[in-house]
Structure 1
Amino acid sequence: MKLYSLSISFRSEDGKVNLLKAEHDLSSFGYFQRSSVREFMEFTSKILVERTAVCTRASVKEQDYMCHVYVRSDSLSAVLLADHEYPQRVAHTLLNKILDEFSNKVPKGIWSTAKPSEVDFPDLEPYLKKYQNPKEADAMTKIQTDLDETKIILHNTIEAVLQRGEKLDDLVLKSEGLSTQSKTFYKTAKKTNSCCVIL
């Protein structure tokens, strides 16, 4: 999973897009390709902001990349360019978070005219680095990963028990915690299911 670009823009009422701040991770591209790749990413981000309706989130496929865009009701917009493996939910969580922080720290009066060098918002680079690993950056993804690992562990434990069928039979027969009726039920169920394969 990889994030390549995170940018913040403002779309004025006449449809013009003003890039306010952008951060890129171009380390996976050749040194001489980087300036062209950066220009392409900024161009793509601008088009996405121009073409996305206000109060809308979208994820758009472009060749080997996914472009995630969010245009808020105040026309402040953010675009995240990532690979296809990056989770969409985490991408949109990042866009929402970064726009909230930006609007709290940067005065609205300069959004339509300020150049990126004039905007004091150093938070893009740390966020781009932090969110490279969505499992570490996003609590929900981390919890889901932990749950998935737990399911795998439980699944392996059940499989291990099923592979010891004879020992399980012995345990059932010797168990004092099971009534005679339960033991009979187990034997009957085992005979009935003996023709079936457990997947």
Structure 2
Amino acid sequence: MKINYLKTIVALTALIFFVGCSENEISSEPQPSEIGVTFWDKVKGEQGAYFEVYKNGSKVKNEEASFVSYGGGQLLNSAYFRQFRISTEYISTMYLRYSFGNKVNTPDSLMYDENGNDLNESTLSLEESKYLSGMVVEMYLPTNDAYQNNGVGNVTLYKMKEIEGVVYHTLGEFKVTFTNNNEEEVTLKGVFWKEKL
């Protein structure tokens, strides 16, 4: 009885070891977009972005970018941020920024969120970065005078995504709405990608 039990445990452990997913596993199966803005056919080259611009619900423009950079920096009290910078012609430079570290959603904080969202209060370890979920992210256009506030919407990030035989380290979809100086709602729906960070 003990031998059969031991064989079963060994067999299950071996099965889990050989069938389990690797952290760097490449995903090539098409998956439905969580936010309904999939533009997989626009993903070409080492890096870039493609999005559609809607003003008051009507599409006004398609926009492409050939430059996406990734960086980060230090905030107060051992907090830090990571961000993507997407350079385009129509809206100038768009930033997508994640903040980590100490609690930053207090009125006296430099990173106060007036909508009441709690920004991430804990240190992010590298092994957890693949599984970010439900996080508050800043998306803003600091060099465009027409859009002074952060955008409101959703961003979905994919890691190690394969499209047409090319593996992209990071691929992101977004649907974000800004209010411009004329009190018009401008929505950006699109995708950005980077083959290597």
TM-score by length of 2: 0.28
TM-score by length of 1: 0.28
Structure richer in strand, relative to its length: 2
Answer with 1 or 2: which has the greater Rg: 1
